[in-house]
Chains A and B, each alone.
Chain A
Amino acid sequence: MKKINWSKYSKPIILVAFVIALSILRPKAFLSLDNFSNVLWSVAVIGIMVSGTIFVFLIGGIDLSIATLCALSAVVVVSVTNMLGGGVGAVLLGVLAALVTGALAGAIHGLIITKFNIPAFLVTFATQSIFLGLAMVLTNNKIVSCTAPAFTAIGAFKILGFPLPVYFMAIIALASWAVLRKTVFGRYVYAVGGNPVASEISGINVRGASIMCYVVSGLTTALGGVVLASMTQQASAATGAGYTNDVITAGVIGGVSLLGGEGTLPGAIFGAVLMGLLNNGLNLMSVPSTHAGLVKGLVIVVAVAFDAMNHADQSKKKVKKFKKTKDTAKESA
């Protein structure tokens, strides 16, 4: 009798179960076309961000500044676009400015973390406060809005029925997948996350690779901010609030280990889809956003605890296997 490896199919099963549960609980609201595009938008933003932050997770780092960097870049794109008059060129320059902001923020994270060997969560926890302050300074702590058609098109324009952000997500996820699976840099990322000391000894530029990972993460976070600002046609210091937890949770439930070296992009995208559905579900069940933290926090704890237990199991198995081979070697000798 062959044992079925359930853990292999756990992700699709969870997803299907979730969809069925929501269809039963809120059939009219959940199964409508409008709601479908709501879910897509939500998934797209988380998907765009997690496609970049997965690089940081894979090297064993973390980014707690996602939400406020998102706010800062949203504020930057709206301010620059408004300042330059709101034409197509202005929007392009605004997006560019936001992306530069994100890349710079990522580079600063990477430089500080690798140069001084400081835990990533601490640095990003401090920069979270800095980005929030900068976003408040730039907006004078008000909401800035931008209704220029060229700008709102980023979030609302549809091709073949799907909004543009979905295509952004698809392109970025594909690129990220290709880099992780098909390039030397991708190999380095996994190696650095698996064992930084061994990677250093085997000649990998660990510092350069790590900084690069933070830059990628900053870029996608900034793009997430641009998309969010365009979708809501406004930006403030509160844009993107809650996305830090959402993105980390998406990664973790997608099987990305926060200890580094483990996880795949399809897994992370699955996590993004599940988070999008979860957000939508909580919304449809009219759970206030202030209460949603309870559910999401529990999801994080359970997912990471599973991951940690899995790790402990595997290392135990390895030790057992090692002892067995040692014993057989002794016997044969």
Chain B
Amino acid sequence: MKQLNQTTMRRLISIGMLLILVILFTILAGAGHGKFFNFDNLIEVVRDASVPAIIGVGVTYIIITAGIDLSTGSMMALVGMTMANIYAYTLLPFPVMILAGMIVGLLCGYANGVIVAKFNVPEFIATLATMSIFRALTYIIAIKDANGVIKSQPMNHSHYTWLGGGIGKFYYVIMAMIIVVVFGQIVLKYTRYGTNLYSVGASKKAATLSGIDVAKTRLVAYMITGGLVAIGAVFTTARLQSATTAIGMDFEFSPIASAVVGGVALSGGSGDVIGTLIGALFMSTLENGIRKLSINTAFQYVIKGAIIIGVVIFDATYKTRMDRKAKEEGAKEGLE
């Protein structure tokens, strides 16, 4: 019962942070046409949050097992560039192209999972390495012009770019995000795999002893992330109507930051997908608001970094306080 109260509390805090941010930007950047607070712009915020939220579902699984994935941005570029190659050089139908992208995403996730789970390389260093490997592979397979200079490959066939649009303002990427988040939450809360994720995150030793295949659980989490990254890459390239080597630069932090803001503890074993969705909305509101304030782009890096540190510090202090409180209350009950 206590645990439930704590999770509800944390959920309310993340919703509160999101609301405060929205109110703050409404005051600073204004409401009305062309400003921050209006229907079109708020839909835009949700649209921008969709890809980080989709990928964030997989990253949430990984973080729940006490892992991390820094390679999602580069992976997205690699998937995008793979599809661009098929687009440019073959006459294969678009579903086949997307399928190929999915396979590349799953393979990338598999590579991460094997390095981490089978070879026991620390997650952040393994995915830091694959981050540069995937990016380098993207450059290697990048499409070049006659002089050998890398160019951005247009992918503007209407049979593909419709994915970047939507029914009116209800974009397909938002629909996909809702489906992925709902499905992700159900898997996490109501399937054995979801329970295993929490067990592995709480204690790898205890999980092994209770018969959970820890390596497989982690490997699958990385593969799910790979698959979701591929979905993110499809929507990103369809929206940009092109594929470049720069896709996903500095992206890898968004799903992680979303998860942390949403209450997924980096120490593993707690948090859920809905929290990450709120976190993704928080991050995209932040970026949109800063853009609307038309602050120098350089300052955006500073503000983003500072806010992430602030949130992480908050999360750490909040967690120690709650742990202490739970302990004290437990001691009290023991005395009575």
Contact = CB atoms under 8 A, between A and B. Distances in A.
Interface of A: 62, 64, 112, 116-119, 121-123, 125-130, 132-134, 136-137, 141, 245, 248, 252, 258-259, 288, 290-298, 300-301, 304-305, 308-309, 311-312
Contact of B308 (A126, A133, A248): A126
Given A126-B253, A298-B129, 4 more contacts: A123-B312, A290-B135, A290-B245, A312-B120
A130 B301 contact: yes
Contacts of B136: 290-295, 297
Contacts of A125: 70, 253
Nearest to B130: A297
A132 B250 CA distance: 12
Contact of A305 (B115, B124, B133, B313): B115
B122 A259 contact: yes
Contacts of A122: 266, 312
A121 B70 CA distance: 11
Contacts of B306: 126, 130
B128 interface: yes
Interface stretch (B25-33, B34-42, B278-286, B292-300): B292-300
A266 to B, nearest CB: 22
Contact of B119 (A121, A296, A305): A305
Interface string B293-323: 0001111111111101100110011001000
B266 A117 contact: no
A112 B130 CA distance: 28
Contact of A293 (B125, B132, B297): B132
B129 A300 contact: yes
Contacts of B139: 288, 290-291
A309 B120 contact: yes
B132 A296 contact: yes
B128 A112 contact: no
B253 A129 contact: yes
Contacts of A123: 309, 312
B125 A245 contact: no
Contacts of A304: 121-122, 125-126, 129
Nearest to B315: A118
Contacts of A116: 312-313, 316-317
A136 B121 contact: no
11 contacts: A112-B313, A126-B308, A126-B309, A128-B305, A129-B250, A136-B297, A136-B301, A137-B298, A137-B302, A293-B135, A298-B129
Chain A contact residues: over half helix, strand or loop, or mixed?
helix
B100 interface: no
Contacts of A296: 129, 132
Nearest to A64: B128
Contacts of B140: 291, 294
A220 B313 CA distance: 27
Contacts of A258: 122, 125
B137 interface: yes
Nearest to A120: B124
A133 B301 CA distance: 5
Contacts of B125: 62, 248, 252, 258, 300, 304
Nearest to A301: B129
Nearest to B314: A116
The list of the 10 closest CB pairs from A to B, nearest first, reads A133-B301, A136-B298, A293-B132, A133-B302, A129-B305, A130-B305, A297-B133, A294-B136, A293-B136, A290-B139
A311 to B, nearest CB: 8
A64 B303 CA distance: 18
A141 B119 CA distance: 41
Contacts of B130: 297, 301
Nearest to A291: B136
Nearest to B311: A126
Contacts of A112: 309, 313
B290 to A, nearest CB: 11
A293 B133 contact: yes
A294 B70 CA distance: 16
Interface in B93-133: 115, 119-122, 124-126, 128-133
Contacts of A137: 296, 298-299, 302
B126 A301 contact: yes
A304 B245 CA distance: 28
A111 to B, nearest CB: 11
A316 to B, nearest CB: 13
Nearest to B253: A125
Contact of B121 (A245, A290, A305): A305
A119 B121 contact: no
B133 A298 contact: yes
A152 B305 CA distance: 33
B219 to A, nearest CB: 15
